Amino acid sequence: MPPRRQTALLDVNTATLLFGLAGVLGKMTTLPATSIVLGRVVFASVALAGFLGARRTGVRPRDLRDWLALAAAGVLLALHWTAFFQAVQVSTVAIALLSYSTFPLFTTALEPLLLRERPRRLDVAAALLIVPGMYLVVPMLSLTNSATRGAAWGLLAGLTFAVLSIWNRGLTRRYPSAVIGLQQDLVAALVLLPTLLVVRPEQPLTVRDLGILLALGVACTALAHVLFIEGMRTLTAQAASVIAALEPVWGILFALVLLDEVPAPRVLFGGVLIVGATLLPLLGRRPASPAHAPLPDPLRAPNAER
């Protein structure tokens, strides 16, 4: 295997591992979900600004329309990550990640409405395969159950990510992915800042909490994002998507080791169906050369949490 491809595989696998770690880190702090996301986007903004500054990359949007598009996406990003970490906190990392991974179901439903694109039959089949997977993940349809509440928040995270991915398609053709990530992180920080006056942490912020937020922002967001983009310069989008589908697997393994969370067999089987559904659409696509492969979403990999 050529050294360049080896490096690209290492970059994408490392990025996916870091994306999978994010949910576990969110579970390791008692901070509210809004505070976790606020800290994450602040540290990620600083790291991405430093990275772009070192490369002397311009970060200003070109016109008012792009300003508004980035601002709207930043609001969606704040809601998306808040829903995800709320899912992690009220249930388990496995349930949060697997319910969030249902976003292809929402994408398949929304694309014909928002982009007037006809979904392929394979995409529809994959989306439908997610439904029995979620049935196995959710133990009962009652919001009195913590797992059900976590799945509901995870589904909201999946829905908002699907909208965000579709919304960002036009922006990725005009701006570097890291620039979009920086702008949307900044907007998300501004949106979430007022929540500090409303949602108070149960305990004062500790050095441990700051360390978790730093790791979330720098390692699991900025660094993971840059590594994934670098790997995509050599790998095809299909290859990167297959690796990124391992994000729930990494997340569940991290939760097992660091939190002693052991998913029930029913949840694991549901996870197999959901992860399999995210990979199914790749079977019908011709491999694209890296030079012409589309960049991943500006906030995360094709099937990774950011």
User: For the chain, which residues score pLDDT lower than 70?
Assistant: 1, 115, 117, 119, 237-238, 282-306
Q: Is position 294 within any domain?
A: no
Q: Is position 297 within any domain?
A: no
Q: Is position 243 within any domain?
A: yes
The pTM for the full model equals 0.86
Q: Is position 304 within any domain?
A: no
Domain count, the chain: 1
Supply the pLDDT for residue 289.
47
Residue 263: domain span: 3-284
Q: Is position 212 within any domain?
A: yes
Round to whole Å and give the CA distance between 215 and 270: 30
Q: Is position 296 within any domain?
A: no
Q: Is position 72 within any domain?
A: yes
Supply the pLDDT for residue 282.
67
Q: Is position 280 within any domain?
A: yes
Supply the pLDDT for residue 115.
66
Supply the pLDDT for residue 45.
94
Supply the pLDDT for residue 284.
58
